[in-house]
Structure 1
Amino acid sequence: SEGSKGDFIFRDFDGDFDYISIMFEMKNENDTTATKHKNEDFLKKLDEDRRKKGCEYAVLVSLLEPDNETYNTGIIDVSHKYEKMYVIRPQFFIPIITLLVQAAKKSLEYKRQLAIAQSKEVDVTNFESKLNEFRNLFGNNVKNAHDRFRDAITAIDKSIADLQKVKDNLLKSDDHLRLANDKVEGLTIRKLTHKNPTMKAKFDEAREITEEMD
């Protein structure tokens, strides 16, 4: 338990598991001014303190309003105004601790299961995170491979186009050579001397010399 300025916190543990925590605040007539206070005057502040300290329950142990039969009958549940809050007389101090501890122990197993489920949820979240990371990396690798494949295909297409141009040029050259060869094979003395008297005379002279030598 922890104490400060007339209030204290009751905590109980199961191992390292904090399964119950109750903030108590004590009020009596000596704590008030000449003006009489009501129990409700302190509930809001008690609720704020409970939340700040991270306690599950809040209990106002009060001697205020001594003639109020509602508070004199036992443990008063005011959770309809403030969550998990009770108002009691001092004689119910031990009974309310006992009741809340017993109730907490009954729900302890459920809290354990919840903690396990939350832990598994974290594990699932981590798994999903790693899976998404893997998917992203795999997707990037696939994209990079696809880009390289596309670039390679483009390069191959360009090479094929270049080779086709070379092929076309070679075929054209072959046609030119064939035409040139045909022209050479069709070349005769008659064609060479056609409309050229000088060359015709020279060839005739060369022919006569050849015949004389024979």
Structure 2
Amino acid sequence: MASITVRTELERIQAQNIDITNFETTLKGFQDSFKMRVGKARNQYEVAIKTIDTAIANLEKVKEAMRLWTQQLDVADRGLDEVTIRKLTKGNPTMTAHFESLVLEATEPTN
């Protein structure tokens, strides 16, 4: 009878050890899986940050190009005010004569 009681107690303790081992194995598996997913999430986060930084850098380049474009338009606009027929025909006798004839035609009375 004592032997049966000892054997039953031993089986109960072995079953508990198996339960503890299974629990530890399951917990370890969960921890490993969780760590792996956190690592993947961290990598995706870093890729997203790098992508955002690249987009910002590209937008800064576009912004600078547009600023320079505006400067060129301003220079062209200021230069346009300085353009006159005299400046355009200077050193070009053909064009000077042509414009002078046009001026004469415009001032002649029409019948």
Amino acid at match of 1:140: M
Matched, 1:175 2:71: yes
Equivalent residue in structure 1 for 2:38, among 142, 162, 169: 142
Determine the structure 1 residue equivalent to 2:49: 153
Distance in 1 between residues matched to 2:92 and 2:34, nearest whole Å: 87
Determine the structure 1 residue equivalent to 2:14: 118
Greater strand share, structure number: 1
Matched, 1:189 2:91: no
Amino acid at match of 2:102: A
Following superposition, the deviation at residue 184 of structure 1 comes to 1.4
Following superposition, the deviation at residue 129 of structure 1 comes to 0.6
Q: Alignment RMSD, CA only? A: 2.5
Q: Report the CA distance shift for 1:211/1:125 in structure 2 as closer, same or farther (over 3 A).
A: same
Q: Deviations over 1:28-72 (max 9, x none)?
A: xxxxxxxxxxxxxxxxxxxxxxxxxxxxxxxxxxxxxxxxxxxxx
Matched, 1:166 2:62: yes
Residues 76-155 of structure 1 aligned to structure 2 (within 5 Å): 105=2, 109=5, 112-155=8-51
Sequence identity percentage: 32
Unaligned runs of 5+ in 1: 1-13, 15-104
Query: What TM-score results when the alignment is normalised by the length of structure 1?
Result: 0.44
The number of aligned residues is: 109
Unaligned runs of 5+ in 2: none
Q: Compare relative contact order (CA 8 Å, sep 6+) and give the higher one, 1 or 2.
A: 1
Following superposition, the deviation at residue 127 of structure 1 comes to 0.6
Greater helix share, structure number: 2
For the pair shown, the structure with the greater C-alpha radius of gyration is 1
Following superposition, the deviation at residue 197 of structure 1 comes to 5.2
Task: Give the secondary-structure state (helix, strand or coil) at the position aligned to 1:124.
Answer: helix
Distance in 2 between residues matched to 1:110 and 1:213, nearest whole Å: 139
Following superposition, the deviation at residue 186 of structure 1 comes to 2.1
